[in-house]
Structure 1
């Protein structure tokens, strides 16, 4: 389908170029032989640029369509879409899987997102499950960063029953807990948990 569209555009561009040349030429005498159309390197270069531009726009449309599909299957909060992924993985495996799907491991950056993630988790994986979120202190103990390496400005640690985070160097990755109403706990990164990927939409 795309190839046919590109071929069609190429044909139209060539016809337009030829028509433009015909209009600019002075009228030939009736019995004069028809002149050959000369295709220059600059004309070919212009057409290539136009094709590249069209392909770029097609790819952008594909990306937007894919993100809309993610939002339809997942959950949208402001400019983010969260999508529950199938199965359980270790923290690093989950983070890698999200990158392979064009996103990052989901992270709440305010109360609204955290509450929405908690509600989504209850319907997607069950109210008694924990999900990985993209927060860890693997690089430096006690310095919590997201998967991009940026310092975390929002946290939702459990502090009423247990004083989280409490795992020290043995628990460097963070879960949003279903049983604890969306509160955060630090856990060993090797544990297998459910996870959500996050996609930014404009």
Structure 2
């Protein structure tokens, strides 16, 4: 516990903090001066601004006694986000609908760490929340954001026959491949705790 307190104190150096409630993380030296929802190592229910000062001890007290978010049974937590690997296999669309019924969506991969986690988590070819259904060659995540960080396998995406949905290809590596959206694969759902 003392190591964690030291790490948080270092991260908060030269900050004035105002805890407010709501699910947030406290980023290390973001320079933005305001709280934000982020997948950082410290996941607590608190936000902050630089407007009202609190002592570090008061902040530490608030952080310790706030509830730590947890995932529903069967879901795995990684970096303040809950993930569920389906037991069934189905099309990309049906996989996404299953996620939505559970208050989630297909996974959006935002970092190398998340890609590594998911690659270890999925043991078979698995749908992710990426497609180019709307415009061929323009890959978009299910949350509406364009693809900026990618882990495509060599010569992928290749659109080898109406391949508009992305999967983590685990047969011989953990990179991505485009496949027909009607293929029957497992999927990974993602949601906040």
TM over 0.5: yes
Number of equivalent positions: 126
**Distance in 1 of aligned mates of 2:172 and 2:115:** 13
- Mapped to 2, the partners of 1:148 and 1:69 lie a distance apart of 21
Q: Which has the larger radius of gyration?
A: 1
In the other structure, the counterpart of 2:85 is: 84
Report the Cα distance in structure 2 between the residues aligned to 1:140 and 1:147, rounded to whole angstroms.
14
SS in 2 for 1:92: helix
Map of 1:136 onto structure 2: 131
Which of 160, 180, 197 does residue 172 from structure 2 map onto?
Answer: 180
2: CA distance, partners of 1:158 / 1:143: 17
Deviation at 1:169, TM superposition (A): 6.2
Q: Contact 1:76/1:82 (CA < 8 Å) preserved in 2?
A: yes
Write the distance in 2 (CA, Å) between the matches of 1:80 and 1:180.
27
- How far has the Cα of 1:188 moved from its partner? 0.2
Helix, strand or coil for the counterpart of 1:170? coil
User: Which of 147, 151, 162 is the matching residue for 1:152?
Assistant: 147
* Cα deviation 1:151-178 (Å, max 9, x = unaligned): 122110001xxx0001156100000011
The answer to whether the Cα contact below 8 Å between 1:75 and 1:120 also exists between their aligned partners in 2 is no
Q: Deviations over 1:30-60 (max 9, x none)?
A: xxxxxxxxxxxxxxxxxxxxxxxxxxxxxxx
Deviations 1:69-106 (A, max 9, x none): 43x53322212111112210100010111011000011
* Distance in 1 of aligned mates of 2:70 and 2:192: 11
Distance 1:194 1:89, change over 3 A: same
Return the TM-score normalized by structure 2.
0.61
> 1:148 Cα shift?
2.0
Deviations 1:98-139 (A, max 9, x none): 0110000113211110110011113xxxxxx20000000000
- Structure 2 gap ranges (5+): 1-66
Distance 2:81 2:71 in 1: 13
Match of 2:183 among 173, 178, 191: 191
Is the Cα–Cα contact under 8 Å of residues 141 and 169 in structure 1 kept in the other structure?
no
**For the residues of structure 2 that align with 1:196 and 1:139, how far apart are their CA atoms?**
22
Does the aligned pair in 1 maintain the 2:71–2:77 contact within 8 Å? Answer: no
State the secondary structure of the residue aligned to 1:180. coil
